[in-house]
Amino acid sequence: MEIKLCSLIALLGFLTIANAQTVFDITKCGATPNSDITAFQILTKTWTDACASPTGATIVIPAGTYKCGVVEFKGPCKGPITFQVDGTLQAPTSPDGDSWITFCSFENLAVTGTGTFDGMGSAIYGKQKSKAVNLRFNFITNGHMEGVTSKDSKEFHVNVLGCKNLTISKFTVCAPADSPNTDGIHLGRSNGVQILDTKIGTGDDCISVGDGMEQLTVERVTCGPGHGISIGSLGQYAGEMPVKGIFVRNCTLVNTQNGVRIKSWPDQEANDVSDIHFEDIVLDNVDNPIIVDQMYCPSNLCKSKGASKVTISNVSFKNIRGTCKLPEAITMTCSSAHPCTNVEMCDIDIKCTTGPAKAVCTNVKPVITGIMNPPGC
C-alpha cells in the first residue's frame, strides 16, 4: 500500500509542477532506515516509477542504513535519472552472481550524494570467495558519478563496460590493503571516460584498464594503498580489442605496490596498445614506480613463457618524481617478438629509500630527455 501511495504522490507532484523532475524519497515510499527489513522491493518499484517520468526523476536515499539485495536498475528511461545517495546502502553478506548494484542501458544518469555503497566484503575477506562487484555501469551514455563512497566491495568496486561520456569525480574507494581482487575502478570497451579528483585505497589496482578502452582521462587521483594505476592485463583472451588514448596526469601514489604500469600476458593472444601517456606523477614510498611487464603471469597461470603477442607503441612517461622502496625504480620488459616502439621518458627523478635506484629495460629503446634518474635505459 505504501509503495502505491508513493507512486501516486509522485504522479501528482509531476502533474502540478510542469517541467520539474519528480522526487522519490524512499522513506516516503515505505523504506525504514536502520532496519533489518530490506529496501530491495521499494527501490526496484521506485526505479520503475522514476524511469517512467518523461521529465526525469530524482531518487533519494536519505541518511541512515538500508539493506539492499542484488538489483539491476535498467533503462531505457523516458527522462534523465538522478540517484542521490546520502545514506548507506548495505549489500547482502553472500550475494548470488557477480554483481550487487547495476545501472544498465540508458542515457543521462547521475549518481550523486555523500553516502556509501557498503559491499560488506570485510565479513568474508580471507574466508570465502565472492565475485559481487559493488557498482556496475553497463552501456550508459552521458553519465556522472560524484561525491559517493564505495566501501569493502567483495570484488571490483566499480566496473565500467560499454559506456560513452561518463565522468567519475570526487569519488572515494575504501577497502583494506589485503582485500583480494578489489580493483577500485575497472574499465573496458568504453569511450570518453573521465576519472577526476578521486581518492582510492584498496587491495588491488586503484584503476585498471581492460581491452577496448579508448579516450580515458585520469586526473588528480590519489592512490594508496593498492597496486597502482594499470593498463591491462591484456593478451589473455581471444577477441580482445585495442587500447588507445589513455592520459594519466597529476596523480599521487602513496605506499602502493606499483606506480604506473602496462602489463600483458606472454604468448597467448594478440592486441595493440598505443597512445598511452603518464605525466606529472608523484610517488611516495612506492615499491615499483614504472613498469612495462609483457611477461605478466599471476599465480603461474600462463600457458607458455614465450614472447607476448601484444604490441605497445607511442607511450610517454613525463615528470615522474618521488621515492620508491625497491631498487628497480624502472622495469620495462617488452616483448622480444614485438619490441615496444616510440617510447619517451622525460624528467624522471626517482630515489630509492633502501639503496641506489636502477632502471632495467629489455626490448625497448626509449627516447630520453631532461633528467633521467636513475639512468640505465
| Whether the predicted pLDDT of 129 surpasses 80 | no
Cα 197 to chain centroid distance, Å, stands at 13
pLDDT at 6: 56
What pLDDT shows up at residue 281? 98
The rounded percent of the chain whose pLDDT value lies above 90 is 87
Q: Name the pairing type of β-strands 367-373 and 341-352.
A: parallel
Which whole-number Å values give the CA distances from 115 to 43, 156, 236, 257, 278, in the listed order?
A: 16, 19, 37, 29, 31
HSE of 139, CA atoms in CB hemisphere, 13 A:
8
Give the pLDDT score at 10: 44
What integer pLDDT is reported at residue 5 of this predicted model? 39
CA distance 332 to 17: 61
Q: What type of residue is 201? A: G
pLDDT of residue 301: 81
Q: What is the pLDDT of residue 130?
A: 78
pLDDT at residue 13 is higher than 70:
no
Q: Which residues are catalytic?
A: 227
Is the separation of the CB atoms in 338 and 311 below 8 Å? yes
Grid cell locating 265: 600476458
Report the DSSP pairing between strands 88-90 and 149-151. Answer: unpaired
- pLDDT for 1: 38
Mean pLDDT of the chain: 93
The phi and psi torsions of 268 (rounded to 5 degrees) equal -120, -80
Predicted TM-score (pTM) of this structure:
0.94
DSSP 8-state class, residue 235:
S
Residue 14 binned pLDDT confidence (cut-offs 50, 70, 90)? very low
DSSP string covering 144-169 = EEES-EEES-SS-SEEEES-EEEEEE
Q: What is the pLDDT of residues 314-356, one digit of tens each?
A: 999 999 999 999 999 999 999 999 999 999 999 999 999 999 9
Write down the pLDDT at residue 2: 39
Of 19-23, 209-213, 271-275, 346-350, the range with the lowest mean pLDDT is 19-23
- Of the pLDDT bands very low, low, confident and very high (cuts 50, 70, 90), residue 305 is confident
